[in-house]
Amino acid sequence: MEKLSKGKIYFIVVAAIAFLALILVITTSTITYSNAKQAIENIGVVGYSEKSKEKIDDAQYKFDQFQSTLGATTTFTSVNKNVGEENLQKAKAAYSEAAIRDVNNKYLSGASEDEIKAELKTIRETIDAYFANKDYSIISNYATFTSLESRYNAGATADNSGSQGGAAEEPEIC
């Protein structure tokens, strides 16, 4: 049997370490992919509730973890698209729409100005966090929200007492 030189032994050790590192990275990416996919699937039916928001936020966190591993590389681009980013965006839009319907219903039923202002502020923070790219086109009733924001941020409730504008005309979205 032939004796291995120090150079060959070094090469074998380095190759083995590189191989193990690659396996570890792929395993980590696969695990984060599975976690993200499962979290998105677990969102289920979205409503304006803390439970829905928690599920969406958990799915977003796990999706971000996936993207920070190999999920963001070109090699995994097709996997990245299949993980359900579109479903996550739809869930965020559905939550936002339900929140807007809720505040609009409060407005129509005569809730206090302070209550409506507080809810508008909370919804704005959520929408801006969910849609950092400022593309609100996926939110079907976003115009209602901006109408209510304008009305309450400008303090124009007394000026519009007879006309509820876009907020009153917004159809109920199921």
| Statement to judge: residues 136 and 162 lie in one domain | yes
Closest by Cα among 83, 98, 69 to 174: 98
What's the pLDDT score for residue 66? 82
Q: Are residues 3 and 73 in the same domain?
A: yes
Q: Which of 58, 83, 108 is the last residue of a domain?
A: 83
User: Domain range holding 110?
Assistant: 85-174
Note whether 25 and 59 are same-domain residues. Answer: yes
What tens digit of pLDDT does each residue of 107-142 get?
A: 999 999 999 999 999 999 999 999 999 999 999 999
Do 101 and 152 belong together in one domain?
yes
Residues 43 and 116 in one domain: no
**Domain identity same for 47 and 19:** yes
Structure confidence at residue 81 (pLDDT): 60
Q: With both helix axes pointing from N to C terminus, report the angle between 50-68 and 6-41 in degrees, rounded to the nearest 10.
A: 160
Same domain, 91 and 169: yes
Q: What is the mean pLDDT of residues 21-35?
A: 72
Mean pLDDT of 19-25: 74
Read off the pLDDT of residues 43-86 as tens digits, 9 standing for 90 and up.
999 999 999 999 999 999 988 888 777 655 545 555 556 667 88
Residue written as token pair 């829905």: 52
Work out how many domains the chain is built from and give that number. 2
Final residue belonging to a domain, choices 83, 105, 120: 83
Q: Are residues 39 and 105 in the same domain?
A: no
**Cα dihedral sign, 165-171-172-174:** negative
| Same structural domain, 72 and 90 | no
**pLDDT of residue 161 exceeding 80:** no
Report the candidate in 59, 67, 53 with the shortest Cα–Cα distance to residue 35: 59
Q: Mean pLDDT in the chain?
A: 81
Lowest mean pLDDT among 32-36, 37-41, 48-52, 158-162: 158-162
Taking 70 as the threshold, does the pLDDT of residue 164 lie above it? Answer: no
Does 11 lie in the same domain as 65?
yes
Statement to judge: residues 76 and 95 lie in one domain: no
On the question of pLDDT at 158 being above 70, the answer is no
pLDDT at 100: 97
